[in-house]
Amino acid sequence: MKPIVDATHDPARRSWVESANAADSDFPIQNLPFGRFRAAGDGGWRIGVAIGDQVLDLRQAGCVDHADMARLLQQPAAERLALRRAISDGLTSGSPQQAAWRAALRPMADVQLGLPCDIGDYTDFYVGIHHATAVGKLFRPDNPLLPNYKWVPIGYHGRASTIRPSGHGFVRPMGQLKGPDDAAPLLAPTQRLDLELEVGIVVGRPNAMGESIPIAEAEDHVFGLTLFNDWSARDVQAWEYQPLGPFLAKNFASTISPWIVTLEALAPFRKPFARGAGEPEPLPYLDSADNRAHGAFDVGLEVWLQTAAMRAAGHAGERIASSNFADAAYWTVAQLVAHHTVGGCALNSGDLFGSGTLSGPQRDQAGSMLELSEGGKRPITLHNGEQRTFLLDGDRITLRGHCARDGLRRIGFGDCSATVLPAP
């Protein structure tokens, strides 16, 4: 579980792919995230690594002998690290592979990026304590956090079939709505459509049914992290969520970034995991010395909104919120894996965990419109004078994430974007 920082993270290392050396690139040679792509005429998805504004076809470059992402996800940590080092060496300036590998590059703008892997199952957690507290205050001012929150990583089983890669729009969902004074609900398009700023956790190695994963081994079963937007219909959710939790309010669409940033790439950006004074200690199966020493990930997160009017005016949109994974999360990635499997649940390669909304304590750090608008009571005003409480048709939300630290190259996750389309 101990992160390994090696020559692949050297900030002085440069690539012969010149676009990767730009200071503002999400994909310098120190990153090397994995995803799937296809070009015109391709029969199926290929495995690629992002490098600058290019995609390296791993099979054509001879780094793998297959195009099966699930097979790659299942590699033990030592094999993943060896593959990372081989790709990094081959892309480094002066590499003897430069001539051969140049033919395996595709401009990212010329290919279609798909889901980074086949997602068989999806679990959404609720690790953002500031979000949980803020939302709890809207409904339970005197008791915002329920008693189990600080003892159990709360989660629910989500819908994998409606997860789409960045760039795919989705229609405004229908559902039952009922106001506090209505005698009966009605079926209508949601009027309180919301975003959720989340980190996605991609399972690598599976475990057998009935076999729990100890926290000390949990990260050996995680391939990497992505950005994730779990769109929500808040008015549908308010009517349906008791007693079993979200259903139609969450199953209509989720958006994932097309690149998985590996745990190996994130090694220099780990932080100690600690809770404040007076917080309960986790039960032993959720605690370890390694998890306390470096269980958190220092990932800066942003939410950008581009309205239809902004798009028509040629404006790229504006940032409406920012937070950080390490500061927002009450539970770590390793704790989520250990808890998910403690009862014997089998995880498969490509399974996805959503972190839950990752908000900071301040209003401008809120990862949802529900918090930004204080439940719809306080609209946010954009630079062009438009106001929003919840999302309107034509709004485009983009999530962005990056890791940055003095003495290291900044690495990013790529955009996670989708546009709200009108209800049918």
Long-range (24+ apart) CB contacts under 8 A made by 307-313 are 307/382, 307/384, 307/386, 307/388, 307/392, 307/394, 307/395, 307/396, 308/392, 308/393, 308/394, 308/395, 309/384, 309/386, 310/382, 310/384, 311/394, 311/396, 313/384
DSSP string, 389-414: SS--TT-EEEEEEEE--TTS--EE--
Strand 296-297 and strand 270-271: the pairing is antiparallel
Return the C-alpha torsion angle 343, 348, 352, 353, nearest 10.
20
Compute, in degrees rounded to 10, the torsion defined by CA atoms 152, 158, 163, 166. Answer: -30
Length of the chain: 424
320: closest CA among 376, 370, 361, 381?
A: 381
Collect all residues with Cβ–Cβ distance below 8 Å to 208 and sequence separation of at least 6.
Answer: 346
Q: Which amino acids are annotated catalytic?
A: 131
- Contacting residues for 411 by C-beta, under 8 A, at least 6 apart: 26, 27, 28, 30, 31, 261, 265, 269, 402, 403
- Contact status, residue 336 vs residue 200, Cβ threshold 8 Å: no
Q: CA 303 to CA 255: how far, in whole Å? A: 13
CA distances from 195 to 15, 112, 234, 268, 419 (A): 36, 24, 10, 30, 11
Instruction: Report the alpha-carbon angle 219-225-229, nearest 5.
Output: 135
Closest alpha carbon to 239 in 175, 183, 158:
175
What Å distances lie between residue 33 and 7, 87, 264, CA to CA?
17, 11, 10
